[in-house]
Amino acid sequence: MKKIALALVVFLVGGLILTASTRESSLYVRTIYIERVYPTRFGYRIDYRRESSLLLATSYIPLDWFGGPDARAKLVRVNDRSVPFMKVYWDNREFSHLVLYVHSNINDLSWGTMRPTDNLQALFDIDELDLVY
């Protein structure tokens, strides 16, 4: 009787562990490799290489997305050759947040400068991140 009870406990615990480890997460992460980062007073313009071609695409990240523990974006400065890139997170297929990894040296070739335009502020007036693959 003890052997049957022990086998049943082992079977139940093993099943619970297996179930917990095979659950699908609702969080999805994608790494976007960046060619150049353009800081402005309204946010960051990001030029990145599309996955499906050699063409570049552009996205705009508003400055008010950064800051605070529950912010939609986080800026990480790194002194490494692997930057710039960003990790974009979706939760249940909806944009959650992003982490932008940039070179700590502003004189690095990955940093660019933008000429001011009349509609620059309108480009950063967004609610969702717009990415082209």
Phi, psi of 33, deg, nearest 5 = -90, 130
pTM of the model: 0.77
pLDDT score, position 69:
84
Q: Which of 12-26, 66-80, 115-129 has the highest mean pLDDT?
A: 66-80
Please calculate the CA angle 75-119-41 and round it to the nearest 5 degrees: 30
pLDDT score, position 2:
55
Residue 132 has pLDDT above 50, yes or no: yes
**Do residues 43 and 125 make contact, with C-beta atoms less than 8 angstroms apart?**
no
Distance in angstroms (rounded) separating the CA atoms of residues 108 and 48: 16
Least confident range of 2-6, 45-49, 55-59, 108-112: 2-6
Distance in angstroms (rounded) separating the CA atoms of residues 68 and 123: 23
If you average pLDDT over every residue of the chain, what do you get?
85
Least confident range of 18-22, 42-46, 89-93, 116-120: 18-22
Rounded mean pLDDT, 59-82: 93
pLDDT tens for each residue of 74-86: 999 999 999 999 9
Higher pLDDT, 126 or 20: 126
pLDDT score, position 18:
46
